[in-house]
Amino acid sequence: MSGIREGHGTLEAQHLVKDFRLRDGVRFSTLHAVKDVSFSLAPGRTVALVGESGSGKSTIARMMAKLETPSSGRVLIDGMPSGDRGRALERYRRDVQMVFQDPFGSLNPFHTIRHHIERPLRIHHPGWSSSDVRSRANELLERVRLAPAGRFAERRPHELSGGQRQRVAIARALAPGARFIVADEPVSMLDVSIRLGVLNLLADLQREEHLGVLYITHDLATARHFSDEILVMFRGEIVERGPSDRVILDPQHEYTKTLLDAAADPDKLGMLRDDVRIGG
3-state secondary structure of 116: helix
- Can you tell me which of 204, 252, 254, 257 binds another protein, judged by CB under 8 A? 204
> Please, which residue, 15 or 257, has the CB nearer to another protein?
257
Q: How far apart are CA 48 and CA 67, in angstroms?
A: 20
What three-state secondary structure class fits 51?
coil
- The helix (run of H) or strand (run of E) holding residue 169 is helix 162-174
E strand or H helix at 181, and its extent?
Answer: strand 180-184
The alpha-carbon radius of gyration of the chain (Å, integer) is 20
| Per-residue interface string for the shown chain with another protein, residues 156-195, x marking contact by CB under 8 A | -----------------------------------xxx-x
* Per-residue contact flags (x/-) with another protein for residues 92 to 131, judged by CB under 8 A: ----------------------------------------
Among 53, 69, 129, 130, binds another protein (CB under 8 A): 53
Contact letters (x/-) for another protein, 233-272, by CB under 8 A? ----------xxxx-xx--------xxxxxxxxxxxxxxx
Q: 65, 220, 231, 233: which one contacts another protein (CB under 8 A)?
A: 220
Phi, psi of 49 (to 5 degrees): -115, 115
> Which amino acid makes up residue 30?
T
Kindly tell me which of 3 and 70 has the beta carbon lying closer to another protein.
3
266 DSSP assignment:
G
